[in-house]
Structure 1
Amino acid sequence: MKHLITVIRVFVALVFIASGLVKANDPLGLSYKMQEFFEVWGFTTLHFTTLPAAVIMNVFEIVTGVALLVGWRPKEVTRMLLVLILFFTFLTGYAYLSGKFKSCGCFGDCLPISPFQSFLKDLVLLGLIIALMRWQQYIKQSVPSTIGGIILIVATGASSYMQVYVLNNLPFVDCLPYKVGNNLVEKMQMPIGATLDSFAITFRYKKAGQIVEFDGNSIPEDLDSTYEFVDRYDKLVKKGTDAKPPISDLVFLNANRKDTTIDILNQPGYYILLWVKNPQNIDRNLATQIKELKKLAATKYIPLFIVTGISDMQYWAPLGFSVNEVLLCDYTVSKTAARVDPMYMLMQQANVIDKHPVEQTNSFFQELQQLKSNPEPYIFIPSDKPMPKLKAD
């Protein structure tokens, strides 16, 4: 039993540490997932609490995992783990049983698992933690209490600093479809082998007091005026793979609210997208840097666009942007594409070449200086035509 408890202890500890580290790589992702739960429950006024709660939860998950791994105060630690896993099991159970979520964010965006898998995982962990509590006498400290306390302090500081860093820069590992190296057009296409749901138009008639249903391939031979039409509906014939493109909602609108996505992604050469969710985050010093960078980009014939959900030119004209250089985009898309606000995205046609938070404007300025100029000026004229089918490079 002693060896079995040791194996269980190490396994549970590593799962908690790994789960916490994956989410600490992108605490905003967990924050947005919490907001989804609050929206379902009608607690949207609590959205402001989700980011601090996400950071604290990630630290708590990592630190309790480390404490269990070194065998520090097993009685208190196993009780904390029990509270934590009960909370997680409630969330994953609700996500699975309600059917309102496609994922619960248990391992972040880097290791997406379904609500059922998450719920099953938490039930297994719950059983293992109960076993650890039952036979906690077999959990021995692997280091002295003082050393263990120091390790936990270091783990707390490191996990906290890690999250502060990625919130001001970018995740260490970008697992989202807008990551560097991806082609956005390719990510907007259906996965290979994916199929949609198949439906058949089904008619409902009443004959002699009985409801009769049939589709176009099985029309009754005696269909006449004795049949009374009731209604028609689409009947699911074959379930599809329930797959959708990694990017399904990217749309750039011009000043006339026309879809100009194809015009942007099919530009020849390099161009820059400056994603801005909240213009209040651009102070005077940053505004000066943006204007200088825009001038440098112009000397290399590299267009620079603002991507935002705010069309009011009082924010963008002082930065030197014209109406045609401001692209409107849904806030949800911006949250996924730009984890830091504001953020530069260097593009070449539909390919993401690099990403920089505006705090790194100086380093991006240096990168832009070394970048090869586009061969000729590109004058962006937004199209008012319907968006044609996109094609990847």
Structure 2
Amino acid sequence: MILKILVQLSRIIVGALFIFSGFVKLVDPIGSQYKFQEYFSEGVLNMEFLVPYALPFAILLIIAEILLGVMILVGYKPKVTVWSLFFITLIFLFLTWYSAYYNKVTDCGCFGDAIKLTPWETFYKNIILIALILLLVIKVAVIKPIFAGKIPKVITFLSLFVFLFIVQHVLTHLPIVDFRAYAIGKNLQEGMQYPADGSIPPVHDFVLENEQEDLAPILLDKEKVMLVIVYNLEKANKEGFAKIKNITDKAIAKGYTVYGVSASFTDDLLAAKKEHNLAFDFLFCDETTLKTMIRANPGIMVLNKGTVTQKKNWVDAEDVEL
């Protein structure tokens, strides 16, 4: 009796953890893409041939993670589910040990940007998780569907449809939930303040440089600022610049200070400005910082005295309120 209770508790804990972990990444799959690119890089796993496939790999893993969490809770195909949970956790147990032991990846991204864990904290979390899953593997016969008939199957496939819809939505627009320091409502100047423990502030490496100086302090004091984020010009969606031009021209007419921000070469940016007849200049910022600021290329961020008031993918540029 006690063993059955432990199995059901493990089932709930594992299912809830996988759903939570999957959800915080589901709302921002591009963040997971960047993390897998880091894992596949030469300095970590040295599997750079997989870098171009980081996004589909991230989406597949996220969907599998959250769907398996649903399946274990509703009791749909328990044998397949528990063994899948076991092998996925075993893979990440190795990855987190590798990251922690060799100090390769300082944040595994297992909870997206919602919760930050050190590599060793993540490894020990996975040790506990795989112990719970092993109990489910051994006592898989105890795991029964919580609903009769085809209801568990319907819940599973309905969940899959919802998860795929969310992925499509956030890739077309922006993350549904933004856990980063550049989220709407966040003040970047406050984010630059060092915490009491002396750790790195949430907003760091935020510079907006022209050829002479860093304009970030000046722009963060202004009331009406629009930044067009193009973290990498070569990877930017060229169709987006027509909409970018339209909204930036309107913003300038209404008194906004408008700048593009990119990590690309100056000559390439000047050529793009001429090609698309853009009425603003570009400033330089670190590419990683720009990727953190907004999951779009190009994307739009509106500031009011350093507070983020709006963020839009270029697809939704016309929805920016001026």
TM-score (structure 2 length as normaliser): 0.91
- Percent of matched pairs sharing the same residue: 32
Residue 71 of structure 2 aligns with which residue?
67
- Read off the aligned partner of 1:31 and give its amino acid letter: Q
CA distance in 2, matches of 1:291, 1:27: 28
| In structure 2, distance between residues paired with 1:113 and 1:71 | 30
Give how far 1:193 is off.
4.0
Instruction: State yes or no: 1:159 paired with 2:163.
Output: yes
For the residue of structure 1 that corresponds to 2:255, the secondary structure is: coil
Please give the alpha-carbon distance, in whole angstroms, between the structure 1 residues aligned to 2:212 and 2:171: 32
Q: Which runs of 5+ in 1 are unaligned?
A: 195-242, 369-393
The aligned counterpart of 2:306 is: 350
Aligned residues: 313
- Bigger helix share: 2
Q: Give the Cα–Cα distance (whole angstroms) in 1 for the partners of residues 46 and 109 of structure 2.
A: 20
| Equivalent residues in 2 for 1:9-48, closer than 5 Å | 9-39=11-41, 40-48=44-52
In 1, distance between residues paired with 2:163 and 2:46?
31
Distance in 2 (CA, whole Å) between partners of 1:288 and 1:19 is 37
Residue matched to 1:293: 247
Deviations 1:117-172 (A, max 9, x none): 21111111111111111112211122245322222111212112212211221111
Deviation at 1:278, TM superposition (A): 4.3
**Distance across 2 between alignment mates of 1:320 and 1:185:** 32
Gap runs ≥5 in structure 2: none
Contact 2:243 2:314 in 1 (8 A): no
Shift of 1:175: 1.0
Q: Distance in 1 between matches of 2:248 and 2:80?
A: 56
Instruction: Work out the CA distance in 2 between the residues paired with 1:133 and 1:290.
Output: 53
Q: Which residue matches 1:140?
A: 144
Aligned to 1:205: none
Contact 2:245 2:278 in 1 (8 A): no
Displacement of 1:57:
0.4
Q: Secondary structure at the match of 1:150?
A: helix
Distance in structure 2 (CA, Å) of the matches to 1:64 and 1:341: 32
Q: TM-score, normalised by structure 1?
A: 0.75
- Indicate the structure with greater strand content: 1
2:219 corresponding residue in structure 1: 264
C-alpha deviation, 1:106, in angstroms? 0.9
From the superposition, tell whether residues 145 and 82 of structure 1 become closer, same or farther in structure 2 (CA, over 3 Å): farther
Q: Secondary structure at the match of 2:312?
A: strand
Aligned partners of 2:300, 2:314: CA distance in 1, in Å? Answer: 7
The yes-or-no answer on 1:303 pairing with 2:257 is yes
Runs of at least 4 residues off by over 4 Å: none
Q: Match of 2:13, as an amino acid?
A: F
CA distance in 2, matches of 1:301, 1:319: 21
The offset of 1:309, in angstroms, is 2.0
Flag the structure with larger Rg: 1
Q: What pairs with 1:1-393 in structure 2 (closer than 5 Å)?
A: 1-39=3-41, 40-144=44-148, 146-194=150-198, 243-254=199-210, 256=211, 258-266=213-221, 268-279=222-233, 280-283=236-239, 286-310=240-264, 311=266, 312=268, 313-321=270-278, 325-364=281-320, 367-368=321-322
